[in-house]
Amino acid sequence: MSPSHRSSSTTRAHRLNETLVALPPSGIREFFELVIAMDDIISLGVGEPDFVTPWNVREYAMFTLERGDTSYTSNKGILALRREIAGYMAHRFGVTYDPENEVLVTVGASQGLDLSMRAILNPGDEAIVIEPSYVAYKPMVALAGGVPVVVTLRYENNFRLDLAELRAAVTPRTRAILLNYPSNPTGGTFTKEECRHIAALAEEYDLILISDEIYAEMTYDQEHYCMADQPGARDRTIVLNGFSKAFAMTGWRMGFAAGPADLIAGMTKIFQYSMLSAPIMSQNAAIEALRKRHQNVPHMVETFNQRRRLFVEGLRAIGIDCHMPEGAFYAYPCIRKFGLSSREFCTRLLKEERIAVVPGTAFGPAGEGFVRCAYAAGFQELEQALEGMKNLIGRL
Ligand SMILES: Cc1ncc(COP(=O)(O)O)c(C=O)c1O
């Protein structure tokens, strides 16, 4: 190559993966660029608990560092942690897994999602995504070579899944259904009956269920029914879960996948080449988090529950319609009647009242007319956010 060729190559744009180029930027990130540029914001934007990781977990992680645990671990994760996870799944959700070959420790539930998509999809395979949905689902399907097929939930139907619509979305190319309950962003969850119907549909069409149950612990007025515990579902379901939310451990990047041995083996094979092992200090912390979960999780969940009521009742009191969320820590109020788009509403709330919430459209086009508010903030901040919203809508 001539020198002139070499120097010109530093200024031209590089050719990137076409699927990547076609992906839209994350609606959340885009909006948060605006937020980051401003001071003194009350943020109900980020889906992150406002608790720091409980002290016993931090202390235990420091102890393991002190004793010199700084190595790689088994690709699947420390066996003691996999045993804790299997015990947790059995006691908390009624599903038994063999810690040797049916549990994989992942770098957040996010990595479990990525690995599961890459393990099961062939180019052109379809995966059904239920919208409004967590922002990563469609991109992860696409990056794995698959085609996301959307089933839309409607406010008028209480954001409940219409099983006839789910069935209608199945084609001969459908390989999987991605589920997330309790849901980010709607806060809705599934009843036992709904879980059973979904499982039966998956069995009928021989589909895999990728069930992201990361908010399972935060289910308020009913039990959480694990998808793998439904008749016929265990051997076609990969349950994704993790420590970010109910255990207040976002920065540790700890998650896990539990499922039938062949699917977990497929995911582990990708993991072997791409990650080697999850960080050992985080795995040690996760062991402690599970062992002492009764000490920490229930009181954090109860705090979210109280905030949920305060915030949603507060929204209704100022004239904003909102379903009572059944789980997670998100409220998804409807702002249609104020005549602004979701984005306009959020931008004005941010600029005029210094309150950050996320436009509903970040979670798919069906989110137009909604905003997502994470009530993972202190009571005082929630009160201030409500006050700011009241001021804004008073001017509209
Ligand atoms: C539904 C859902 N799944 C997965 C994740 C990512 O979790 P993790 O921090 O374990 O990667 C999030 C984070 O917001 C989420 O809301």
As given in the structure block, the two tokens for residue 144 are 């794995």
Cis peptide before 132 (omega within 30 of 0): yes
| Cα-to-centroid distance, 15 and ligand 1 (Å) | 30
Residue 35 has pLDDT above 90, yes or no: no
For residue range 76-132, what is the model confidence (pLDDT) as tens digits?
Answer: 999 999 999 999 999 999 999 999 999 999 999 999 999 999 999 999 999 999 999
When pLDDT is cut at 50, 70 and 90, the band that residue 6 belongs to is low
Supply the DSSP string of 105-155, one letter for each residue: EESHHHHHHHHHHHHHPPTT-EEEEEES--TTHHHHHHHTT-EEEEEE--G
In this structure, the residue with its CA closest to atom 14 of ligand 1 is 47
Q: Which atom of ligand 1 has the smallest separation from the CA of 328?
A: 16
- 319 CA to centre of ligand 1 in angstroms: 31
Q: How far is the CA of 135 from the centre of ligand 1 (A)?
A: 9
- Local structure of 330: helix, strand or coil: strand
Indicate whether 253 pLDDT > 90.
yes
Give the closest residue to 134 by CA, choosing from 226, 47, 250: 47
CB 217 within 8 A of CB 189: no
**Mean pLDDT of the 313-335 span:** 97
Helix (H, G, I), strand (E, B) or coil at 232: coil
pLDDT per position as a tens digit, 206-221:
999 999 999 999 999 9
pLDDT-above-90 percentage for the chain: 90
pLDDT one-digit tens code per residue, 349-360: 999 999 999 999
**What's the confidence (pLDDT) of residue 46?**
85
CA of 329 to the centre of ligand 1 (A): 12
Q: What's the mean per-residue pLDDT of the chain?
A: 95
Lowest mean pLDDT among 6-10, 147-151, 188-192: 6-10
Q: Convert 254-282 to b/e letters by CB count within 10 Å (16 or more is b).
A: bbbbbbbeebbebbbebbeeeeebbbbbb
**The pLDDT of residue 9:** 52
Residue 2, pLDDT above cutoff 80: no
Q: Give the residue-averaged pLDDT of 181-203.
A: 98
Give the closest residue (by CA) to ligand 1 atom 6: 110
Output the pLDDT for position 1: 46
- Cα–Cα dist 330/362, whole Å: 14
The CATH class that applies to domain 21-47+295-395 reads alpha beta
| Residue range(s) in the chain whose domain bears CATH number 3.40.640.10 | 55-291
Enumerate residues 6+ apart whose C-beta is below 8 A from 129: 137, 138, 141, 148, 149, 150, 151, 178
Which fold, 55-291? Answer: Aspartate Aminotransferase; domain 2 (3.40.640)
pLDDT at site 10 = 59
Query: What pLDDT is attached to residue 341?
Result: 96
Q: Give pLDDT tens digits for 48-84.
A: 899 999 999 999 999 999 999 999 999 999 999 999 9
Residues paired with residue 180 on neighbouring β-strands, in sequence order: 212
Report the distance separating Cα 213 and Cα 104, nearest Å: 15
Closest ligand 1 atom, CA of 180?
1
Q: Report residue 34's pLDDT band, with 50, 70 and 90 as the boundaries.
A: confident
Atom of ligand 1 nearest to the CA of 255: 10
Q: Residue 171: pLDDT above 90?
A: yes
| CA 339 to ligand 1 centroid distance, Å | 32
- Secondary structure letter of residue 334 according to DSSP: B
Beta bridge partners of 201: none
**Alpha helices (runs of H) in the chain, residue ranges in sequence order:** 3-9, 18-22, 27-36, 55-66, 79-93, 108-120, 137-143, 163-169, 192-204, 261-274, 280-291, 293-317, 342-353, 379-395
Question: Cα(216) to centroid of ligand 1, in Å?
Answer: 12
| Ligand 1 first shell, C-beta below 6 A | 47, 108-110, 134, 180, 184, 212, 214, 242, 244, 250, 255
- What digits encode the pLDDT tens for the residues 284-317? 999 999 999 999 999 999 999 999 999 999 999 9
Query: Which of 197, 257, 238, 228 has its CA nearest to residue 76?
Result: 257
pTM > 0.85: yes
- Taking residues 331-337, what's their average pLDDT? 97
Looking at the chain, the domain(s) classified CATH 3.90.1150.10 span: 21-47+295-395
The tokens for 257 are: 């996948």
Q: How far apart are CA 148 and CA 133, in angstroms?
A: 12
